[in-house]
Amino acid sequence: MFTAPQATDHKSLSAPDWSAIRADFPLLSQLAHQQPLAYLDNAATTQKPNAVIDSITHFYRFDNANVHRGAYQLSERATLAFETARDKIQRFLHAPSREEVIFVRGATEAINLVAQSYARPRLKPGDEILISAMEHHSNIVPWQMVCLQTGALLKVVPINDSAEINIAEYQALLNKKTKVVALTHLSNALGSITPVDQMIAMAHAREIPVLVDGAQAAPHLSLDVKQLDCDFYTFSGHKIYAPTGIGVLYGKQSYLEAMEPYQGGGDMISRVSFEHSDYNCLPYKFEAGTPNIAGVIGLGAAIDYIQAIGIDHIKQRERLLLDYATAGVSLIKGLRIIGTARDKASILSFVMDSAHPHDISTILDQQGVAIRAGHHCAMPVMTRFDVPATARASFSFYNNESDIDQFLQGLHLVNNIFSGKNG
């Protein structure tokens, strides 16, 4: 069994044993419709390794107490486990300080927090928020809400037919009214990797802060918020092998210090009276109420786990799987890939002449293959490519060629069914 080694091991250069790694994910060993489960919906959520499941079980069996409160050993142990996870995430993101790592429910809440606590008090009518044409709804709707509240306007950077950002248009859209730029790091519907480093530098040249939505990127790309110089970075635990209901907002300390709290409650204050309350210091100012302690600990365990494999190994492995699947689908008659950016990762979105994405998904499901069909919470992307929906296979390092073969055979069956060769 592949167990998460200590921090010193994670720079190991030896190639990981991928079949042992797959065995770390107990859910993947089950059958689906009497066939091996080929789980290819990793962009929606990832499966959890034993290391993560065990960390949560261990917490509830032995360490459960509220954090930052009790002056007793158990609470100190819970607090230590909780805060140690924050340190792990700080290192994972290469954040300059641990105070810049805020625990939230997920990337969605992180973006809403920035929209309400950073943008809302600063926006005036006519100001502009700039996003890209391939954002997830969670990086569109919070900004639309703040636009309605303030009279600001939402502007959208177009993408080309390959699903790449039009940088010249982006440059043209950046202007003195632009107050926030919010960009996906990796498109969940298309797989395109956004050139965020270049786009951040361009925004910073005009002193515009940039939020990067890393919900899809975090499990697949190397993250370094210091090098990127982004002002905010968000991601969700459940897409990076951790539990649902936990996520992270990274923000530059200078921004976070200047922002009002998002929610009021316990833990986020240093002193309360009926006349006045003083807010707690960072990061607690943004962590009202008892946090998702087990979720945080699970997230820490997930990050230990992927760092033990090594993000470079993960990138290579997932590149290989994406290339293998892309080559395979190119032989399927009438199949068209939506999202053909030169720089892409882990996601294969497509439509077929013969069948609607939902029919594809139903047929694949019967072959034990789980993919997503629909608009992927990115309806404007569907409109941009003039499709009602797409089918999407998304890969993780724990997938293998056999999962993809099963997927490809399912696609052949789709064509057979819809051409009348019912097999």
Partner 1 sequence: MKVMNEELRALYQEVIIDHGRHPRNFKKLEHPSFCQEGYNPLCGDHLKLYVRIENNTIVDASFEGQGCAISMAACSLLTERIKNTSIVEARKLFDAFQILVSDANPPEKIRDYLGKLSVLGGVRDFPVRIKCATLAWHALKAGLDDINNKKVVSTE
Count of residues touching partner 1 (by CB under 8 A)? 26
Out of 13, 31, 207, 423, the only residue in the binding site for partner 1 (CB under 8 A) is 423
Comparing CA positions, the residue from 292, 161, 274, 172 lying closest to residue 236 is 292
* Residue 31 touches partner 1, criterion: CB under 8 A: no
Min dist. Cβ of residue 94 to partner 1 (A):
38
Give the distance from CA 294 to its chain's centroid: 19
Min dist. Cβ of residue 382 to partner 1 (A):
7
- Can you tell me the distance from the alpha carbon of 376 to that of 394, in angstroms, rounded to the nearest whole number? 12
- Distance set, CA 160 to CA 343, 384, 422 (Å): 13, 9, 38
Out of 294, 337, 355, 404, the only residue in the binding site for partner 1 (CB under 8 A) is 355
Q: Would you give the binding string for partner 1 spanning residues 62-101, x where CB under 8 A is met?
A: ----------------------------------------
Q: 138: number of CA atoms within 13 Å, CB side?
A: 24
Spot the catalytic one: 147, 230, 281, 377: 377
- Can you tell me the distance from the alpha carbon of 324 to that of 44, in angstroms, rounded to the nearest whole number? 21
Min dist. Cβ of residue 416 to partner 1 (A):
8
Out of 115, 157, 196, 413, the only residue in the binding site for partner 1 (CB under 8 A) is 413
- SS3 state at 337: strand
* Residue 333 touches partner 1, criterion: CB under 8 A: no
Segment (H or E) for 81: helix 73-93
Task: Choose the stretch contacting partner 1; rule: CB under 8 A; options: 217-225, 256-264, 273-281, 382-390.
Answer: 382-390
Q: How far apart are the first and last CA of the chain?
A: 40
Out of 363, 370, 391, 404, the only residue in the binding site for partner 1 (CB under 8 A) is 363
Could you confirm whether 377 is annotated as catalytic? yes
Out of 157, 163, 183, 389, the only residue in the binding site for partner 1 (CB under 8 A) is 389
Query: Residue written as tokens 């409109």?
Result: 383
Give the distance from CA 387 to its chain's centroid: 24
Out of 322, 374, 384, 396, the only residue in the binding site for partner 1 (CB under 8 A) is 374
- Distance set, CA 285 to CA 25, 157, 204, 214 (Å): 36, 33, 26, 23
Task: Choose the stretch contacting partner 1; rule: CB under 8 A; options: 44-52, 117-125, 128-136, 363-371.
Answer: 363-371
- Can you tell me the distance from the alpha carbon of 346 to that of 81, in angstroms, rounded to the nearest whole number? 32
Out of 17, 19, 29, 33, the only residue in the binding site for partner 1 (CB under 8 A) is 33
* Residue 253 touches partner 1, criterion: CB under 8 A: no
Out of 373, 378, 393, 404, the only residue in the binding site for partner 1 (CB under 8 A) is 373
Show Cβ contacts of residue 333 under 8 Å, excluding neighbours closer than 6 positions: 353, 354, 415
Task: Choose the stretch contacting partner 1; rule: CB under 8 A; options: 187-195, 240-248, 333-341, 413-421.
Answer: 413-421
Task: Choose the stretch contacting partner 1; rule: CB under 8 A; options: 80-88, 186-194, 219-227, 355-363.
Answer: 355-363
* Residue 412 touches partner 1, criterion: CB under 8 A: yes
**Tokens standing for 336?**
């068209």
Tell me which amino acid residue 254 is.
Answer: S
Comparing CA positions, the residue from 378, 409, 63 lying closest to residue 189 is 378
- Rounded to 5°, the CA angle 129-178-205 comes to 125
Instruction: Note the residues at the interface with partner 1 (CB under 8 A).
Output: 33, 355-359, 362-363, 366-367, 373-375, 382, 388-389, 409-410, 412-413, 416-418, 420, 422-423
Tell me which residues are annotated as active site: 377
